[in-house]
Amino acid sequence: MSKQKQIGMLLLLASFALVAISCSVASNKEPFFGKTVPPERNIFRYVTGDEPESLDPAISNGQPEARIYMALYDGLVEYHPKTMEPEPALAERWKPNNDSSEFKFYLRRNGRWSNGDPITANDFVYSFRRALTKETASRNAYLAYYIKYAQPFNEQKVFVRDPQTGQFLNAKDFDETTPAEPLAGSPLDSTANAEYSEPDVHLEGRPESEFHKQMHTPLRLTLPGDAKGRTKALDANPKLKAAVAGKEFVPIKAEDIGVEAIDDYTLRISLVQPGPFFVGLLAHQVFRIVPRKVVEKYGSAWTQPQHIVTCGPFKVKTWQPYDKLVVERDPMYWDAATVKLDEIHFYPMSDNPTIMNLYKVGEVDAVLNHTVPNAWLEVVRVKQDYMDGSEAAINYVLINTTQPPMNDVRVRKAFNYSIDKEAWAKWRKIVKPLTAFTPSGIFKDYPQPQGDQFNPEEGRRLLGEAGFPVIKKPDGSYSCPKFPVDQVEYIYNTQESNKAMAEWMQAQWKQNLGITVNLRNMEWRTFLNVRAKLEYKGFSRGAWGADYMDPFTFLSLFYTGGENGTGWVDPKYVAMLDEANRMLDPKKRYELLAKAEKFLIDAQPMIPIDTAATNWVKKPYVKGMYPNAGSLFPWKYVYIERDPAKWDYGVPDMTAD
Amino acid sequence: MTPDPDLIHASPETAITEGEYVRGTSLWRDAWRRLLKNKLAVFGLVVVTLITLSSLIGPTVIKRATGYTPDYIPTSDTRLIRSFPPFTGPDGQFSWTHPMGTDNAGRDQLARVLQGGQISLFVGIISTLVSLLIGVSYGAIAGYVGGRVDNIMMRVVDVLYSLPYVIVVIVLLSMFRSQTARGQLILLFIALGSVSWLTMARIVRGQVLSLKNQEFVMAAKATGVSTPRIIFRHLVPNTLGPVIVYATLTVPQIMLTEAFLSFLGFGVQAPLASWGSLASDGIQNIAIFPWQLIFPGVTMALTLFSLNFLGDGLRDALDPQMRTT
Amino acid sequence: MLRFILRRLLVTIPTILVVITITWGLIKLAPGNFYSGEKRLPPAIEKAIRDKYGLDRPWYEQYGKMLWSIVRHGDFGTSLKYEGQSVNGIIRRSLPVSAAVGILAYLLALIVGITAGSIAALKQNSRWDYGSMTLAMLGISLPNFVLGPILVLIFSLSLYWLPPSRWGGFPSRNLILPVITLSAIYMAYIARLARAGMLEVLRSDYIRTARAKGLSEKDVVIKHALRGGLMPVISYTGPALAFLLTGTVVVERIFALPGLGNYFIQASLNRDEPLLIGIVAFIAITLLLMNLLVDIAYAYLDPRVRY
């Protein structure tokens, strides 16, 4: 009977659905991706990535949060919208001392909190100390470790004092590797300004503060605060143990950190080493200020919308977690006249296709970086609203160097030689091939070293030298029968682009070395755990974006042993970096950093793959937003342009100031 | 996971039809005859068989015919566009090489869908067997012994039912970490099987509860048959009707769960693929290369569709009272 | 009966505690932590975070503190990942989202499913019957993570009729696609249940009697047949609603809705211990209560089942 009809009907339905879907494939002819109707009011709707962990700028280290903090909080300096160089914010101007180990910041007088209170240097002192307090548990505290005694304070260490004389023990007497002490080396004059290139008019003749004098005494010895850790440290150094006997331990206090309010509008920061890049670091979220009164009154609930007080161009209007954060223009902001948007709506979302769909239908005006899925690039990259800029970020492959066969540098090099990075970059479309460990073309005047180019012949030779001869089979393919394939794998966290990279690497090694490396994908947190504990064999996906605009943010990944996920550590490398950072001349410093980088890529604890490029979209009517290298945007410059003639057609001009 | 209505209405009716079950072997012959009469069920059976067969031999055939294996990435082809629509060759012209097109990396979609079928069907069947084994014995014991034991056993089921299975899978996969893709797959079977026997246990218990006061059980008890024997020789065979039906419906459920785990990133390891992982990859590209979702999605839907028809047919065949056509 | 209900309610409490305990143990076993990132934090900072949340205290102390706070104050603590947000607050906020989508989806499923099922039963073996049953089977077989994106592709990306995702408040146009996606499978189940139930009833004696009495076909169907034929649908409602109320992970993820299901997955992936325990406990309570309702209904419907 009519069972056949039922089946027929099913087939009909299925084919109808197929046709409907095939017809609706995105058309390639329009200049922009999806709708381009500006919102009615001056409201900017932005997808910033994952749900913010907190609205407290000291807490989170994520980029999604960083962009929200840039709307809500101000710091001494702010990122330039195009170059990301520091530009004046709450500090009108600043002055380094002769060796860039101490900075004076002159604050503007009209800085105000969103509740109308004035912003003074004391707010900075409080916020820096708070961020470094252990109980705050700031993920970013390490970025402030350049400040004198910030690290030992954050680690709850102690000074050692002689109870008789009241003298503190100095670090350089016990440890040769202590970095040179710039501050201690330049004895203080009676005037505060002698070591600064130009004198301070309004501070002239003022007596030097006790605190500042103390900052210029030799670096004190610090020891672990807990008895167990201390015993361990002392046992390792008999000379130290003898010297410490009979001395008292003084816990390091927040007041010992090298941050001082000279007066209400002058702030001085003393570093533990020369930091020519330090001002650039100050735009980072951890250096943005929080309102003392509110924080002390409400504790961790101070970020709730009913309590929060902010100091940025925008203030919180409403916050529905996981749905949206609405910020509105703050009339109290010192530069409120520049702010053009009435509101910004931040949408926390993390699934890329979902975000792109929202963008396409015009429900959001711009999206975060790396949102356009690889396959979509075919269609989206040719559109005029695609933001293609160079990015201070790299993709690389980590190698677990602690286990054979990867503990042999020849094997590591062989795997590096046999990856055709040019071909990868061509296929990936939005990256540039990379042979070194810093992103190419980001740091001006940095003499980036060159690593090994694609050379499978050399790779096969090295592998043979290491005891794993590669045999050419009659059909032209290779095989490496002696290589212990079960001792290597490639791990990555589940994501479309990571999978593409993993499969590419696998295919390259199979083709050029005849070695099939097993792939293993993991859920994000498991992956991080496995990688950090070196529980993987062979290779692991890695990526890093700059914390600040200096090559050191990349090179420092291998500065401390054990935490870089490769197990590779070399005191020589650390010494080279230290030496570079002691250089006062920026050019010389760059040369030494480049030398260290060359050393790193020769040791090959990782395989550099590519320099990333920005990969996001914004509607053409969004102006004042640029694809800068860190994808961080000072929101006060962003506005909605209603006249199509003035829209951005293509990437906006990044060179004009 | 969606609750299955069969769980709710399967229990009361079967008891009434008890009389027919005791007829022994002719029941199965009868059922088979009735199943063959049901055209939709036959359609389901044929489609499932076809898909299974082509999944098994398909990848080999394709390799012979076109040289493409499911994991072959043509890296020598450095061109930008590697995702070809169905029946299109690298030159953009009509070609038989990729009847389902290719994926992002240029791999043959048909070969991948067929290989994905192997894994999805395998996952579905093995995990269903695991859930059958645990679920039937657990449910039967709980139902027959009754009283406090039943109460405790069912509370255990309640507890397991409420556990966050994502976390269960994370823990299982990480505690028994396996280095190979195949090993990971076996872990996946265990993980899926161990979360899917709960409903089966409930169904069997419900059946046994309404069967255990029947005369034939009383009779067995009176003649001194041991408890395990009563459970496994007298009770369990009588619950097989609904169990088989539910098992055919569990296969799709498990395939969906596996697909969902792939969607979250816990599924099979690359370069292996399942329909679920293919579909979740395809979702990423739906606006650009819809065929990457359509083909695995439709194949999977067709299989589930057929399995459901087959399950319906089996129920009708095994349980004439429920027959509605 | 009352004793049975009371006893079951009493049993519910230890069951929930066991669920909480096992979940707690599972998170402790799961590798990774909520604070890890692409670059590993310096050990001192990791320690500061662990100390802040007492993660380095002995396990019995952590467990006892968590359990005491839950039992004594019904307080699940604050989220680890989302600093300063209370778990109870998160559940209170996300439940209405999940419930709105879930209940709307179930209502839609009921209306369409019962109509389609009844028509199919009344016009058995007609085109209507086959059409609606094929659609129902399709609804059961099409995974919702395939259906959702296809609907989005057609109705938002191609036609620009509806927003593709996000929560737009209640009521709003944003609800349409998730509700349809979610209801598809329930619609299909209900249509099949309603059809089977109606067929059963239409053949029964009392309908024959009603017809013999000369009642109009309309009256027979609406007054008598529907009432009896929908029994299976009603008993299906319990567990189905429990699932729908507590959030459906896939749909909430596809449409980026801030509901319980989404939080549940996020909490699992983030190893956010208090949040996950809170959500799991809440879902467990709902499920257990709904199961209890089903069991009570069973006891009423089938006198052969004895407790």
Answer whether residue A7 is part of any domain: yes
Q: Which residue has the higher pLDDT, B198 or A269?
A: A269
Contact list, B283 vs chain A (CB under 8 Å): 353
Task: Indicate if A191 and A212 belong to the same structural domain.
Answer: yes
List all chains that touch chain C, counting a touch as 3 or more CB pairs closer than 8 Å: A, B
Which of the residue ranges B10-24, B124-138, C240-254 has the most confident prediction, judged by mean pLDDT? B124-138
CB A85 within 8 A of CB A402: no
The radius of gyration computed from the CA coordinates of chain B, to the nearest angstrom, equals 23
Task: Indicate if A246 and A138 belong to the same structural domain.
Answer: yes
Burial of A210 (0-12, 13-18, 19+ CB in 10 A): exposed
Here the CATH number for the domain that contains residue A129 is: 3.90.76.10
Nearest to B168 among C26, C146, C189 (CB): C26
Q: Give whole-number Cα distances, A84 to A77, A282, A629, in Å.
A: 11, 12, 7
Q: Give the torsion through C-alpha atoms of B52, B54, B59, B65, to 10 deg.
A: 180
Compute the average pLDDT of residues A324-333. Answer: 95
Tell whether B77 is within 8 A of chain C (Cβ): no
Nearest to B162 among C276, C280, C294 (CB): C280
Answer whether residue A427 is part of any domain: yes
Burial of B220 (0-12, 13-18, 19+ CB in 10 A): middle
DSSP state of A222: E
Task: Indicate if A605 and A623 belong to the same structural domain.
Answer: no
Dump pLDDT digits (tens) for A624-633: 999 998 899 9
At A601 the pLDDT is 93
Say if residue A594's pLDDT is above 90. Answer: yes
First to last CA, chain A: 78
**Length reported for chain B:** 325
Answer whether residue A68 is part of any domain: no
For residue B325 the two structure tokens come to 């056509």
At C298 the pLDDT is 63
At A623 the pLDDT is 94
Nearest to C149 among B167, B286, B322 (CB): B286
CB contact under 8 A, A375 and B83: yes
| Alpha carbons A124 and C260: distance in angstroms, whole number | 39
| Alpha carbons A502 and A525: distance in angstroms, whole number | 18
Task: Indicate if A331 and A401 belong to the same structural domain.
Answer: no
Task: Indicate if A373 and A432 belong to the same structural domain.
Answer: no
Minimum mean pLDDT range among A97-106, A444-453, B287-296, C55-64: B287-296
Number of helical H runs and strand E runs in chain A: 20, 26
| Alpha carbons B10 and B5: distance in angstroms, whole number | 8
Q: Which of B9, B47, B162 to mutate to test the interface with C (most CBs of C within 10 A)?
A: B162
A324 three-state secondary structure = strand
- Candidates B251, B250, B259; CA nearest to B297 is B259
> Minimal Cα–Cα distance from C4 to chain B, Å?
12
User: Which residues in chain C show pLDDT less than 70?
Assistant: 231, 234-235, 238-239, 246-247, 297-307
Task: Indicate if A583 and A637 belong to the same structural domain.
Answer: no
CB contact under 8 A, C40 and A564: yes
Choose the final residue of a domain: A240, A257, A290. Answer: A290
Answer whether residue A571 is part of any domain: yes
Task: Indicate if A457 and A606 belong to the same structural domain.
Answer: yes
Chain A with chain C: Cβ pairs closer than 8 A: 161
Say if residue B139's pLDDT is above 80. Answer: yes
CB B102 within 8 A of CB B108: yes
The residue written with tokens 């094997």 in the block is: A411
> Minimal Cα–Cα distance from C237 to chain B, Å?
9
The domain tally of chain A equals 3
Q: Give whole-number Cα distances, A599 to A369, A438, A450, in Å.
A: 32, 13, 11
Contact list, A26 vs chain C (CB under 8 Å): 157
Contact list, B305 vs chain C (CB under 8 Å): 137-138, 140-141
At B41 the pLDDT is 82
Task: Indicate if A456 and A562 belong to the same structural domain.
Answer: yes
Q: Which of B51, B159, B294 to mutate to test the interface with C (most CBs of C within 10 A)?
A: B159
Here the CATH number for the domain that contains residue A601 is: 3.10.105.10
CB contact under 8 A, B3 and C239: yes
Say if residue A439's pLDDT is above 90. Answer: yes
Compute the average pLDDT of residues B178-188. Answer: 69
| Alpha carbons B139 and B212: distance in angstroms, whole number | 13
Minimum mean pLDDT range among A72-76, A489-493, A529-533, C209-213: C209-213
For residue A43 the two structure tokens come to 């409201």
Q: Which residue has the higher pLDDT, C143 or A131?
A: A131
Dump pLDDT digits (tens) for A199-226: 565 555 566 788 888 888 888 989 998 8
Answer whether residue A251 is part of any domain: yes
* Encoded amino acid at A555, one letter: L
ipTM for the predicted complex: 0.86
Which of the residue ranges A487-501, A593-607, B253-267 has the most confident prediction, judged by mean pLDDT? A593-607
For residue A360 the two structure tokens come to 């396409």
Task: Indicate if A565 and A468 belong to the same structural domain.
Answer: yes
Answer whether residue A55 is part of any domain: no
This prediction's pTM: 0.86
Cβ neighbours of residue A278 under 8 Å, at least 6 residues apart?
A100, A103, A146, A269, A271
Contact list, A423 vs chain B (CB under 8 Å): 75, 78
Which chain B residue is nearest to residue C249, measuring alpha carbons? B1
Helix (H), strand (E), coil (C) string for A99-165: CCCEEEEEECCCCECCCCCECCHHHHHHHHHHHHCHHHCCCCHHHHCCECCHHHHHCCCEEEECCCC
Minimum mean pLDDT range among A426-430, A473-477, B117-121: A426-430
> Minimal Cα–Cα distance from A624 to chain B, Å?
29
Tell whether A497 is within 8 A of chain C (Cβ): no
Q: Which domain holds residue A21?
A: 3-50+313-389+614-646
Here the CATH number for the domain that contains residue A331 is: 3.40.190.10
CB contact under 8 A, C11 and B3: no
Contact list, B9 vs chain C (CB under 8 Å): 193, 196, 232, 235-236
Task: Indicate if A474 and A539 belong to the same structural domain.
Answer: yes
Which chain C residue is nearest to residue A20, measuring alpha carbons? C154
Number of helical H runs and strand E runs in chain C: 14, 0
High-pLDDT (> 90) share of chain B, %: 1
CB A615 within 8 A of CB A458: no
Q: Give whole-number Cα distances, A555 to A1, A11, A171, A383, A538, in Å.
A: 76, 60, 26, 36, 22
> Minimal Cα–Cα distance from C153 to chain B, Å?
7
Task: Indicate if A471 and A541 belong to the same structural domain.
Answer: yes
CB contact under 8 A, A525 and C33: yes
Nearest to B78 among A373, A426, A537 (CB): A426
CB contact under 8 A, A503 and B73: yes
For residue B13 the two structure tokens come to 């009716």
**Length reported for chain C:** 307
Answer whether residue A58 is part of any domain: no
Dump pLDDT digits (tens) for B298-307: 888 888 888 8
Answer whether residue A306 is part of any domain: no
β-strands A538-545, A489-493: how paired? parallel
Task: Indicate if A529 and A600 belong to the same structural domain.
Answer: yes
Nearest to B155 among C11, C22, C29 (CB): C11
Burial of A28 (0-12, 13-18, 19+ CB in 10 A): exposed
> Minimal Cα–Cα distance from B277 to chain C, Å?
12
Tell whether C195 is within 8 A of chain B (Cβ): yes
At C147 the pLDDT is 86
CB contact under 8 A, C305 and B209: yes
Tell whether A187 is within 8 A of chain C (Cβ): no
- Candidates B82, B80, B47, B233; CA nearest to B144 is B233
Task: Grade residue A574 by pLDDT with cuts at 50, 70 and 90.
Answer: confident
Task: Grade residue B176 by pLDDT with cuts at 50, 70 and 90.
Answer: low
The radius of gyration computed from the CA coordinates of chain A, to the nearest angstrom, equals 28
Nearest to A361 among C37, C157, C271 (CB): C157
DSSP state of A645: G
Say if residue B1's pLDDT is above 60. Answer: no
Task: Grade residue B22 by pLDDT with cuts at 50, 70 and 90.
Answer: very low
Dump pLDDT digits (tens) for A81-117: 998 889 999 999 998 887 788 899 999 999 999 999 9
CB contact under 8 A, A523 and B287: no
β-strands A43-49, A366-367: how paired? parallel
Choose the final residue of a domain: A242, A257, A290. Answer: A290
Tell whether C88 is within 8 A of chain A (Cβ): no
